């Protein structure tokens, strides 16, 4: 793992936070001693399957949870050697909670899986500086998800498919150090966010260095809106996909996000500006769940001798059906299609986006999921048909087949 001392660090953080939460003022000292009196009935400790351990006291809550995803994958590649192996896709520890009478929220998440570029995924402080019965505004400060894209905003722990769609992985799906204002209106049906980011929102871009400071005065700007009846269930960072329970009333959400990036040479090795648009939505009805999204991206390099610029379009659409729970397993099945189209490639040297070559990627994915305790304990079997169609002369097309078995536990 990336940090062999990680568990000790997390344990120390958890215990320190709990100790601080209990307080150490005069009201908690014994009458005959200057030493703090034992804490009695001041800290509540609860544990639940899939929800970790929660420590709470008046005005403070801390939750400690872990997630492991193990993947066995076989890839039959037309123009490369086949691959077969087991990998740890994600291994994360998360501390989250609330303080100061539920007006300040925090998230600290560590990534231990080998091959990851950063140990700390999230380090966020969220301050609710304005609250009424129907409206709310908060400052989102630190490192975390950019809130760009329908599928990318939700947690990877709640995916119905083995992983996010190809278009999502390329046009979104990154984190950034940021300062954003987020808001809720109309009782939470209408939500918005706006602010600045250190890096590009597209994970396949040259400027997607999520775990780092900005060493220039160029920033990326983001704004997004969403509206719907099922905001808490369908859209947001804690959202888990799939109609694991039957919905007699249809719930839906539609959202759109725009990003304009100014990335300096000192950050990414080649100056460029990029505009990215995401429009998507999701719907739950009965035991069916549908999600669709499109991306449009345009980028311009300040010096095309240093950077390869391009225009790109991506999309995905998928649906799943979940059966009624059985004695021990609830089965779910789904199909999803996704595509990426890259055009107008100019320049040389470093590609700003993906491979820097014109062409198309198309994927069809099938999945069968066995939910033992919902998303908290599940096993998924997935098949992906992938077609790569580059436009460059002399570069052959490729048809690939990928089979994966993945298990997840949250504890």
Say if residue 320's pLDDT is above 60.
Answer: yes
Spatial contact of 207 and 215, defined as CB atoms under 8 Å apart? no
Per-residue pLDDT reduced to its tens digit, 38-57 = 555 589 999 988 889 999 99
Mean pLDDT of 382-401: 93
Average pLDDT, the chain: 88
Q: Which domain covers residue 380, as residue numbers?
A: 65-410
Segments of 79-135 assigned E as strands = 83-99, 104-111, 120-131
Residue 317 within any structural domain of the chain: yes
Among 362, 380, 360, CA closest to 370: 380
Residues in the chain, total:
411
Lowest mean pLDDT among 238-247, 262-271, 326-335: 262-271
Per-residue pLDDT at 18 exceeds 50: no
Please report, for the domain that includes residue 258, its CATH number. 2.40.160.10
The answer as to whether 2 is a domain residue is no
- CA angle 75-79-83, nearest 5°? 25
Checking if the pLDDT of 24 tops 70, the result is no
Q: What is the maximum span of the chain, computed from C-alpha positions, in angstroms?
A: 86
Answer yes or no: is 101 within a domain: yes
Is residue 251 a part of any domain in this protein?
Answer: yes
Q: What is the pLDDT of residue 352?
A: 87
- Asked whether residue 22 is assigned to any structural domain, the reply reads no
- The DSSP output letter for 36 is B
What is the DSSP secondary-structure string of 163-180? S--HHHHHHS--EEEEEE
Of the chain, the percentage scoring pLDDT greater than 70 comes to 88
CA dihedral 299, 302, 306, 312 (to 10 degrees): 10
pLDDT tens, residue by residue, 341-376: 999 999 988 888 887 789 999 999 999 999 999 999
* Backbone CA torsion sign across 235, 231, 184, 124: negative
Q: Is there a domain that residue 225 lies in?
A: yes
Structure-block tokens of residue 230? 């099922």
Contact 357, 368 (CB under 8 A): no
Residue 186 CB-density burial (10 A; 0-12 exposed, 13-18 middle, 19+ buried):
exposed
Residue 270: per-residue pLDDT: 81
Residue 10's pLDDT is 45
Query: What residues contact 80, with CB distance under 8 A and at least 6 apart?
Result: none
Residue 58 belongs to what H/E stretch? Answer: none
Domain count within the chain: 1
Q: Which of 33-47, 263-277, 385-399 has the lowest mean pLDDT?
A: 33-47
274/276 Cα distance (integer angstroms): 7
The pair of three-digit structure tokens given for residue 82, joined into one six-digit string: 């086949």
More confident residue, 116 or 21: 116
Whether 84 is covered by a domain: the verdict is yes
Percent helix, strand and coil across the chain, each rounded to 5?
A: 10, 55, 35
User: Tokens representing 73?
Assistant: 């994958």
pLDDT one-digit tens code per residue, 104-162:
999 999 999 976 656 899 999 999 999 998 899 999 999 999 999 999 999 999 999 99
What is the Cα–Cα distance from 172 to 166, expressed in whole angstroms?
10
Contact 283, 240 (CB under 8 A): no
Give me the pLDDT at residue 329, please: 97
**Tens of pLDDT, residues 84-109:** 999 999 999 999 999 988 899 999 99
For 331-384, the three-class secondary structure string (H helix, E strand, C coil) is EEEEEEEEEEEEEEEEECCEECECCCCCEEEEEEEEEEEEECECECEEEEEEEE
Would 121 be classed as within a structural domain?
Answer: yes
Query: CA quadruple 20, 24, 28, 29: dihedral positive or negative?
Result: positive
Residues 6+ apart with CB under 8 A from 243: 284, 285, 286, 287, 288, 289, 320, 321, 322
């Amino acid at each position: 793992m990336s940090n062999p001392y990680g568990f000790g660090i997390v344990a120390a953080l958890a215990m320190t936070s709990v100790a601080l939460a209990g307080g150490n003022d005069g009201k908690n000292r014994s009458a005959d001693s200057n030493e703090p009196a034992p804490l009695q009935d001041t800290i509540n400790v609860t544990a639940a399957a899939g929800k970790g351990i929660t420590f709470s006291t008046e005005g403070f809550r801390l939750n400690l949870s872990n997630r492991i995803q193990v993947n066995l994958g076989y890839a039959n590649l037309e123009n490369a050697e086949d691959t077969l192996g087991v990998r740890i896709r994600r291994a994360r520890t998360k501390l989250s909670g609330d303080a100061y009478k539920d007006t300040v929220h925090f998230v600290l998440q560590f990534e231990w899986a080998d091959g990851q570029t950063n140990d700390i995924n999230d380090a966020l402080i969220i301050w609710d500086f304005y609250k009424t019965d129907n409206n709310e505004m908060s400052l989102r400060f630190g490192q975390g998800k950019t809130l760009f894209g329908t599928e990318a905003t939700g947690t990877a722990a709640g995916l119905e498919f083995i992983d996010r769609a190809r278009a999502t992985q390329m046009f979104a799906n990154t984190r950034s150090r940021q300062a954003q204002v987020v808001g809720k209106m109309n009782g939470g049906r209408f939500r918005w966010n706006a602010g600045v980011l250190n890096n590009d929102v597209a994970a396949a871009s040259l400027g997607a260095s999520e775990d780092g400071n900005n060493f220039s005065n160029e920033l990326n700007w983001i704004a997004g809106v969403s509206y719907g009846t099922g905001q808490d269930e369908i859209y947001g960072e804690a959202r888990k996909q799939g109609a694991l329970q039957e919905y007699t009333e249809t719930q839906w959400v539609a959202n759109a996000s725009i990003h304009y990036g100014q990335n300096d040479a000192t950050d990414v090795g080649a100056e460029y500006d990029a505009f990215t648009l995401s429009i998507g939505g999701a719907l739950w009805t009965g035991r069916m769940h549908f999600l669709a999204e499109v991306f449009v991206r345009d980028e311009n390099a300040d010096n095309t001798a240093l950077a390869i610029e391009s225009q790109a379009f991506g999309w995905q659409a998928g649906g799943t059906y979940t059966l009624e729970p059985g004695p021990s397993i609830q089965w779910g099945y789904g199909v999803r299609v996704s595509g990426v189209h890259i055009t107008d490639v100019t320049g040389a040297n470093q590609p700003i986006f993906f491979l820097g070559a014109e062409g198309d990627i198309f994927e069809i994915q099938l999945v069968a999921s066995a939910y033992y305790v919902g998303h908290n304990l599940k096993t998924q079997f997935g098949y992906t048909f992938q077609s790569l169609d580059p436009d460059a002369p002399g570069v052959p097309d490729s048809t690939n087949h990928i089979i994966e078995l993945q298990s997840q536990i949250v504890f």
